[in-house]
Structure 1
Amino acid sequence: MTRRLTVRAPGIALRLDVRTLWVSGALLITAFAAVVFTVVAVGIWLPLADIVEILRGGGRRADRFILLDLRLPRVCLALLTGAALAVSGAVFQSLSRNPLGSPDIVGFTTGSATGAVLSIVVFGAGPAGSAVAAVAGGIVTALIVYGLAARGGGSVRRLVLVGIGIAAMLVAVNSYLISRARLDAAQSAAVWLVGTLNGRTWQYVYLLGIALAVLVPPLLLLNRRLEMLAMGEVSARSLGVPVPVSRLSLMVLAVAVCAVATAATGPVAFVALAAPQVTRRLTRSPAVQLLPAAITGALLLVLSDLVAQRILAPAQLPVGVVTGAVGGVYLAWLLSAQWRKGNG
């Protein structure tokens, strides 16, 4: 039986699932430990006492550069990107009522990548310009996929199949753009397309942080409607949910969140697919919950980046290589589980 904790305040009563609370707490503690280990021990050892001294404005110049210009921006961006991708994946999987309804499977991440690559290769855009182009590319791709899926009845299977087809076409477009670009722009775009945290500065952190501060609160306010939509449109309508408006609002916000994360680091694979489902299994919840999923996504990307930095040290792999390798195994398992469920 599910245990719930009721928190009361004047005019407010919140019912919180106890298991979800302690799972979220455990994930937060693990994420904090991973961040501390990454900041202290990856590469040149920085004792905690020296880190505290640097954060207070002291410390040696070389140590300040390592901590403030290299490690902290990277780990902060990993946290924000992982959380953003997980939230976006949780929304899409809830709306589609399918664990395969993830933005990187149905083409939305690839559409964001196309917009960003186009801006980099053709217009020479910087972080801000590529972010705007990624948002536009993701939203346009989402509208195309949903529009084509709706023409066939709007079934979940058709949505996934249409998204996979659109993603394949956009991959070809990205490859063509890179093949026709100048050598420096092509190299930059090719590395970006893998998904990487290498060389990222505070500028990327600020851009993504500001975007998420604007986009995530409305998603959290719509979380209750999302849970009702996950039960099905008929059930949601019977509970008074304005289905078309709510679905469109959630979709636009989730695409924008995914797009700005993609603009910051490139299309990091499988975090949006795996994090919500890992969270659902840990919390044993029938619905994907946004905040626990965000914590899981942040933890997954920090751990993946830790592996990317250490597995071939001193060389640093793009984090997308690690998430792609792990995510490929996860996707194979998920498809196998879906097949057994459909044929059981």
Structure 2
Amino acid sequence: MTSTLDSDIRMLGAVRSATRRRVLVVTGILVAVLVVLAILALMLGNRIVAPGDVLAAAFGQGPGGDRFVVQGLRLPRLTLALLIGACFGLVGAVFQSLLRNPLASPDIIGISQGASGAAVGAILLLGWSGISVSFAAFGGAVIVAAAITLLAGGFGPVGSSGRSGAVGSRFVLIGIALAFLAQAIIGYLLTRADVRDAQSALVWLVGSIGTVQPAELVVTAVGALVLSVALAVLAPRLRMLQLGDEAATGLGVRVTRTRLLLTLVGVGFAAVATAAAGPVAFVAFVSAPIARRLLGGTGPALVTSALVGAVVVTGADIVAQHAFPGLQVPVGIVTGIIGAPVLLLLLARGNRTKGAA
């Protein structure tokens, strides 16, 4: 009996050690990819900066032209791409883990559309611009999230995993309905607006990282930092919730309160990212599944999801800027092209799994 127990303990230790090694390897690879993408983002453009001069220019050294291009134009855009990519990656990981549904993404369940609708309304009806539009987008995301929560039946314990899955599916379906409602409101506002105002709103709706204002960058960075700290505190309880509400309650987790706090944090991430760049399509949706596949597990994979999101947005922004000479497309178009096949693949795999069962 004792030898069997010792063998099980050694096996468990070996599995944990292998998991930690895999996490470190995957994290290292993603960071290396981000470094390469960051260098490319700072190098490429109408003025090509040599790789050896990029770092010098970023720290205020080298020719004045290089410093202006790298520090004044490209570094703020790169920083915003990294921030919103990480935010979208985290909100996807939180919602998909919390609701146990791979479709639980802010651009599918209506939160991004709510933020977009509020921002478009602020632009077209109130004449707002800049940081004020960002706050309107944040408010729109919160309102839609609250409506979904109330209509889906709140955050109370749901008992068995099957019942939890049903609640998650209802949450997603209600969110999809509200997303269509928000799109209808946006369409109505655009048809009633002046052509020039509608054009500026449309560019924002697609999801774009264009001219980055310092105030908006600071607000995005501070919001992302505060939410990251809150998520780090709640992360252990999110892992416990994945065991089931009854098991989590037995481990001392206040299920209702924890679900509410995690949802608020997720909405915060979605609102901060959407307010900064618009609804960049599919980043939140694809980041967590890619992260879990890289790690070979089913947990939240929060850090890995954030890194994957940053890689997706940064890479997509490079493609959006430089893939078509003389034409810059919004980054949301590129991420949409990437995300749509992933969605189809996920649905196809889900159908095969059900058929095999």
> Structure 1 length normalisation: TM-score?
0.92
Q: Residue in 2 aligned with 1:55? A: 58
Q: Residue in 2 aligned with 1:132? A: 135
Tell me whether 1:226 sits opposite 2:229 in the alignment: no
Distance 1:288 1:194, change over 3 A: same
Contact 2:39–2:54 (CA<8 Å) still a contact in 1? Answer: no
Tell me whether 1:318 sits opposite 2:321 in the alignment: no
Contact 1:148–1:162 (CA<8 Å) still a contact in 2? Answer: yes
Select which of 80, 88, 91 maps to 2:91: 88
Q: Per the alignment, in what secondary structure is the counterpart of residue 240 of structure 1?
A: coil
Q: Per-residue displacement from partner, 1:130-172 (whole Å, max 9, x unpaired)?
A: 2211111111101111221228986222222111111011111
More deviation, 271-280/312-321: 312-321
Q: Per-residue displacement from partner, 1:74-123 (whole Å, max 9, x unpaired)?
A: 11111000000010111000111111111111111111111211112222
Select which of 306, 309, 318 maps to 1:306: 318
> Displacement of 1:263 after TM fit?
0.6
Q: Residue in 2 aligned with 1:187? A: 199
Select which of 126, 145, 148 maps to 2:148: 145
More deviation, 324-333/144-153: 144-153
Letter of the 1:201 partner, please give it.
Q
Tell me whether 1:257 sits opposite 2:269 in the alignment: yes
Contact 2:58–2:70 (CA<8 Å) still a contact in 1? Answer: no
Contact 1:69–1:201 (CA<8 Å) still a contact in 2? Answer: no
Among all aligned residue pairs of Structure 1 and Structure 2, give the percentage whose two residues are the same amino acid. Answer: 37
1:239-254 equivalences under 5 Å are: 239-254=251-266
CA distance in 2, matches of 1:165, 1:333: 23
Distance 1:182 1:172, change over 3 A: same
More deviation, 186-195/282-291: 282-291
Q: Residue in 1 aligned with 2:4? A: none
Q: Residue in 2 aligned with 1:31? A: 34
> Displacement of 1:125 after TM fit?
2.0
> Displacement of 1:68 after TM fit?
1.7
More deviation, 98-107/50-59: 50-59
Letter of the 1:125 partner, please give it.
W
> Displacement of 1:56 after TM fit?
4.1
CA distance in 2, matches of 1:229, 1:142: 20
Letter of the 2:129 partner, please give it.
G
Contact 1:195–1:320 (CA<8 Å) still a contact in 2? Answer: yes
Select which of 73, 78, 81 maps to 1:75: 78
CA distance in 1, matches of 2:313, 2:87: 11
CA distance in 1, matches of 2:59, 2:25: 33
Contact 1:198–1:316 (CA<8 Å) still a contact in 2? Answer: no
Contact 1:70–1:201 (CA<8 Å) still a contact in 2? Answer: no
CA distance in 2, matches of 1:58, 1:317: 31
Letter of the 1:295 partner, please give it.
L
Q: Residue in 2 aligned with 1:210? A: 222
Letter of the 1:143 partner, please give it.
A
Q: Per the alignment, in what secondary structure is the counterpart of residue 153 of structure 2?
A: helix
Q: Residue in 2 aligned with 1:8? A: none
CA distance in 1, matches of 2:225, 2:186: 30
Q: Per-residue displacement from partner, 1:231-267 (whole Å, max 9, x unpaired)?
A: 2212211211100000000101110111010010000
More deviation, 45-54/177-186: 45-54
Letter of the 1:326 partner, please give it.
I
Letter of the 2:176 partner, please give it.
I
> Structure 2 length normalisation: TM-score?
0.89
> Displacement of 1:59 after TM fit?
3.9
Letter of the 1:318 partner, please give it.
P
Contact 2:131–2:215 (CA<8 Å) still a contact in 1? Answer: no
Distance 1:336 1:69, change over 3 A: same
Tell me whether 1:22 sits opposite 2:25 in the alignment: yes
